[in-house]
A = this chain, B = another copy of it.
Amino acid sequence: MRQSKLFTKTQKNPPQDALSASHKYLTQGGFIDMLMAGVYTYLPLGYRVLNKIADIIRAEMNSAGGQEMLMPTLQPKNIWEETGRWETLKEVMYQFQDRSGKETGLGATHEEVIYDLIRRNVSSYKDLPLSLYQIQNKFRNELRAKGGLMRGREFMMKDLYSFHLSQEDLDGYYNQMIEAYKKVYQRCGLEVKVVEASGGIFTKKYSHEFQVIAEAGEDNIIYCPKCDFGQNSEIAKLKAGDACPQDGESLKAGKSIEVGNIFQFGDKYAKDMNGYATTKDGQKQPILMASYGIGISRLAAALVEVHHDEKGIIWPKSVAPFAAHLISLNKNETADEVYEILIKKGADVLYDDRDISAGEKFADADLIGLPYRLVVSSKSGDKIEVKKRSSDKSELVGLNEVLKLLSE
């Protein structure tokens, strides 16, 4: 894409209230735009990042047998009354009356909707286990929405729900999903701690969080610096300095960002919403449920918190909005030709074709943070100057080598 056409331009100054690197750089780089507190437009660059993350999640959820669908945002009060959550989630759920006076809520989460669907469609062991997910914006009536994508009123989430006829089957799938989650984060370029957690407002049952150690984090956890073990400090069985139960290393305490959480609801929903199925030998058994969430927009913010320097973002290849930033110096036609060839070969390139100074172009490239910077100038001859965003060294290479680099 030609940067002269890209909506929007980068901004010189950070937002006034920016406290975190992600809020600052995602806004200045033209990834997001605030409409109101906690509510953002995902601009073309930002939407590309979210889609790359979403596609990684999709691939791993599909591998784990997940079927994608899309549930509604508008939800009737009655199903939420069955579990008592119309009251208990009152604080975070948008609730209002429609024109006909019917009490309606906006989807803050979808356990009630999906369990209602399950109880109407599942009657036998032959229909189970089931794993269903969606990717969609969720809504939470946050009093203190943070700037940026860390804690919003409207945010993008993947939520998967699994259904089982035995605790053993549920446990097996729950553990499989822990591994799928680790793969998602690893593919996105994030190191996570798998944290034993208390269930918070959603459940008191068995639960894990996936936490990224970062200064901008809101959570306090006890974690092992050398492996993926972590524990929510609210549980506080272990403390900083204790030995890690996985590898014996000395545990640390620190702030972290929650980028995923999974819950075992067991038979809570079966009891509350009357969801039963018959086993092979004709017995009626509760349909057990677990749910598995990943905050996609928050994950994008966490990536920036972990991958940035004083000049801007350093996107991991797998989630970068483009693979490379091609820059033409001194308005030359060679850059145009290189761009056309790269595009023809299917390379995913942002081309800074604007009539501005080299300094401004380099600053924008550092701010936006694509993995490779490619400079074509009168000095580079028939070669292209290639620099990784994460490195200071550049080298002159031929076009074929550039294509090879970008297809890696």
Q: Which residues of A contact B (CB under 8 A)?
A: 4-9, 33, 35-36, 39-44, 46-47, 50, 65, 67-76, 91, 94, 96-100, 102, 104, 106, 113, 116-117, 120-121, 126-127, 130, 132, 137, 139, 141, 143, 153-154
Known: A5-B65, A8-B121, A41-B113. 6 other contacts (CB 8 A): A33-B121, A36-B76, A42-B69, A44-B69, A74-B139, A91-B99
B96 and A96 within 8 A (CB) = yes
Known: A41-B71, A130-B7. A33 touches B117 (CB 8 A): yes
Residues in chain B near residue A143, CB distance under 8 A: 99-100
Give A47 to B97 CA distance when docked, in angstroms: 28
- Given the known inter-chain contacts A44-B67, A100-B143, please indicate yes or no for A73 contacting B154, CB distance below 8 A: yes
Determine which of B44, B91, B113, B132 lies in contact with A7 in the assembled complex, contact meaning CB atoms within 8 Å: B132
Contacting residues, chain B, for A75 (C-beta < 8 A): 35-36, 39
B141 touches A99 (CB 8 A): yes
A42-B67 Cα distance, complex, nearest whole Å = 12
Between A6, A9, A69, A71, the greatest number of chain B beta carbons within 10 A of the residue's beta carbon is seen for A69
CB distance from A85 to the nearest CB of B (A): 16
Q: Decide if A74 touches B130 in the complex (CB within 8 Å).
A: no
What residues of chain B lie closer than 8 Å to A154, measured between beta carbons? 72-74
Query: With A and B bound together, what is the CA distance between A47 and B8 in angstroms?
Result: 31
Contacts of A50 in B (CB 8 A): 70
Measured between C-beta atoms, what is the minimum distance from A169 to chain B in Å?
15
B70 touches A47 (CB 8 A): yes
Rounded to whole angstroms, the CA-CA distance of A33 and B72 in the bound complex is: 10
Closest partner residue, chain B, to A297 (CB atom): B70
User: Are A139 and B73 interface neighbours, CB within 8 A?
Assistant: yes
Q: Is the interface of A mostly helix, strand, loop or mixed?
A: mixed
Give 6 nearest A-B pairs by CB, closest first: A96-B96, A42-B70, A44-B67, A8-B121, A36-B76, A39-B72
A30 shortest CB reach to chain B, Å: 9
CB contacts (< 8 Å) of A104 on chain B: these are 94
Closest-by-CB residue of B relative to A36 is B76
User: B7–A67 contact, CB under 8 A?
Assistant: yes
Supposing A9-B121, A99-B141 touch, asked if A35 and B76 sit within 8 A by C-beta, the answer is yes
Query: With a CB–CB cut-off of 8 A, which chain B residues contact A96?
Result: 94, 96-97
What B residues does A44 contact at CB under 8 A? Answer: 67-69, 132
Within the complex, the shortest CB–CB distance from A282 to chain B, in Å, comes to: 18
Q: 30 A–B contact pairs at CB < 8 A?
A: A5-B65, A5-B67, A7-B67, A7-B69, A7-B132, A9-B121, A9-B127, A33-B117, A33-B120, A33-B121, A35-B71, A35-B74, A36-B102, A40-B72, A41-B69, A41-B113, A42-B70, A44-B67, A44-B68, A44-B69, A44-B132, A47-B70, A73-B137, A73-B139, A73-B154, A74-B139, A74-B154, A94-B96, A94-B98, A98-B153
Report the minimal beta-carbon distance from A396 to chain B, rounded to whole angstroms: 32
- The interface residues of chain B lying within 8 Å CB-to-CB of A127 are 9
Specify which of B6, B41, B130 is in contact with A70 (CB 8 Å cutoff): B41
Residue of B nearest to A68 (CB): B47
Minimum Cβ distance to chain B for residue A94 (Å):
7
User: How far, in angstroms, from A73 to B70 measured CA to CA in the complex?
Assistant: 16
Residue contact B8 to A74, C-beta cutoff 8 Å: no
Beta-carbon nearest neighbor of A11 in chain B: B121
CB distance from A241 to the nearest CB of B (A): 41
Q: Given A7-B130, A8-B121, A113-B35, A69 and B94 touching (CB < 8 A)?
A: no
Q: Which of A40, A72, A120 has the most CB of B within 10 A?
A: A72
